[in-house]
Amino acid sequence: MSFAGKVWRLLVGIKDGLVLLLLLLFFGLLFAALTARPSPGLVREGALLLELDGSIVEEAPPIDPLEILMGGEVPAGHYEARNLIRAIDGAARDDRIKAVVLDLSRFTGGGHVHLQEIGAALDRVREADKPVLAFAFAYGDDAMMLAAHASEVWIDPLGGAIIAGPGGERLYYSKLLEDLDINARIYRVGTYKSAVEPYMRSDMSAEARENISALYASIWQEWQANVKKARPGADIERVTSDAVAWLNESEGDTAAAALAAGLVDKLGDRTEFGARVAELAGADAWDTAPGSFAKTELNVWLEANKPDRSGKAIGVVTVAGEIVDGDAGPGTAGGDRIAQLLDDALSSDLAALVVRVDSPGGSVTASEEIRRAILRHKAAGIPVAVSMANVAASGGYWVSTPADRIFAEPETITGSIGIFGVVPTFEDTLAGWGVTSDGVRTTPLSGQPDILGGFTPEVDALLQTTVEHGYDRFLNLVAQSRGKTAEQIDAIGQGRVWDGGTARQIGLVDQFGDLDTALRWAAAEAGLEEDGWHALYLGNKPSPYASMLEQLIAPESGKEAHTRDLFGLAAIRREETARRVAGDLRRLLTAQGAQAYCLECPSAAPARSEPADRQLLSLLARIFGN
């Protein structure tokens, strides 16, 4: 009995300990739930701090709570452009905000259209006689485009700035596939549909070079015009024509070189920058640490300045990221998910619908599913507008065809009207290992498509015919939408990519304008007064559990890894390159239908996922494992 009593007391002690642990966990989660949501009461007189620790996107991907728990750190942020614009415009009107502060030390970029729109909002702050101050350790092209709109641009004395311009190298895999005896079977339509070139060539075709050169020249011209207008003293020509000579003039001091070229106004570390902000916006009464200043952070400010919800609702559905089959997203345009959002909204008595597109395209079937869902709204008799952001190409244009009116910006990339499919087969790979195939067919299609034994000529012909039929359907959809013939669209199609200005001239776009312009047009078409409507964004709300985990797990974790000098910028490029290669290989190896995708379009900020290096290694393992 003495032994049994000891065991019993041990079990009771374990039970009590577990109960106590669960109670502590419960109250900890309860506290996190109560504090995770920013309180409007925390708005303070001083500066609005925009600490952009990540990228600017059209639609932020969800934070995976499991990823936070397993990784032990909060991933880099994604900031929706419309929220930033709303916050900045609110700061311009509110007397409590004395200045707007941009901390771009860990900023990883955004699309040109988003940057231009945010820059215009910063200009409105300055027009309200409020200063805008920017700080970074190092400025790249995107950070410089934002900082150019600041009244004071600061840089750390150990930092620097470099302007690279759009463009760069692409990888081509034909020799690798040849060495591995992988047969990349390519089916395409379009002289300029260069999305498949990495799998069939060792270099860029003349047609692709012509198209991309014209596109990048337009983007570069717009970038320079925007920066020079916002910052007339910046000597962009000096910085970009001979960067080595420019840097040598300052004896390798990159910060001094940036100052001499007028890219920045002042050299100073974060403490000195904070002291300057405190002069303009006030000192922080609660935090006396060096470099502190009175401030309100973005999340708190947004919570205190919610959008107006009066009047009739105009629905806004976002098609952002690669268009894929299934329920993927937000941040990726899952066809099933977006179609369901649109169908659910059919009963919401919307006055109009605006489709916001920021996508290089993707699956033909998913694009068609979204298009059909938009048509169901159009059949309800409401106006439908499309607002193009940075990219609305290929499948991104496919989903735009139901619109009564298409809005874009000069920097928008659109077009890429073409279709392709890529299917690898491994008959030669297996033959190299002594594995061959044989069998009996009752028809030429028996057992096909066979990725191990190879395709029959009939399968090749069928797949190519299917792609050609899809291209004809694409042409006719665009022709019907734009009031042209299929032959006229074919002349500007063929997979060619256009900047927004040219797209308007050739009739792919109706007029220039941002999302607000499209909303106002839709409201007018619906017969609504100027103050008689509001935008209703269709989509999923962020998970509260992710916010709780962000509060529980060290919010500063991982930030220092993103702080970068000019060498660190190269590390960021390495990550982007690895992600791009992983995407190239995924398109080759994963099961996909016909694609209306613009590979030559500049990529948007990636959705949260496993690290690019890990993606790349896993895909390479799949290749060499075959």
- Catalytic residue annotation: 193, 394
The token duo for 261 is 């070229």
Torsion of CA 88, 311, 541, 399, to 10 degrees: -90
Q: In what order do the strands lie in the sheet with 333-334?
A: 183-189, 419-425, 595-597, 361-363, 323-324, 333-334
Per-residue DSSP letter, 249:
T
Radius of gyration of the chain (CA): 27
Longest dimension (CA), the chain: 95
CB 133 within 8 A of CB 264: no
CB 109 within 8 A of CB 147: no
Residues 6+ positions from 553 with CB-CB distance below 8 Å: 68, 69, 72, 73, 74
Which long-range contacts (C-beta less than 8 Å, at least 24 apart) are formed by 371-376?
371/398, 371/399, 371/401, 371/402, 371/477, 372/339, 373/338, 373/339, 373/342, 373/343, 374/317, 374/342, 374/399, 374/402, 375/402, 376/342, 376/343, 376/346
3-class state of residue 168 by DSSP: coil
Cα dihedral sign, 121-123-128-130: positive
CB 292 within 8 A of CB 284: yes
Rounded to an integer, what distance in angstroms lies between the CA atom of residue 451 and that of residue 148?
Answer: 53
Rounded to an integer, what distance in angstroms lies between the CA atom of residue 176 and that of residue 202?
Answer: 10
∠ CA 431-434-440, nearest 5°, is 70
Rounded to an integer, what distance in angstroms lies between the CA atom of residue 205 and that of residue 178?
Answer: 19
∠ CA 594-600-603, nearest 5°, is 95
E runs forming strands in 64-194 = 77-80, 97-103, 132-139, 152-161, 183-189
Residues 6+ positions from 422 with CB-CB distance below 8 Å: 184, 185, 186, 187, 196, 199, 587, 588, 595
The token duo for 483 is 């009031």
The token duo for 427 is 């008959």
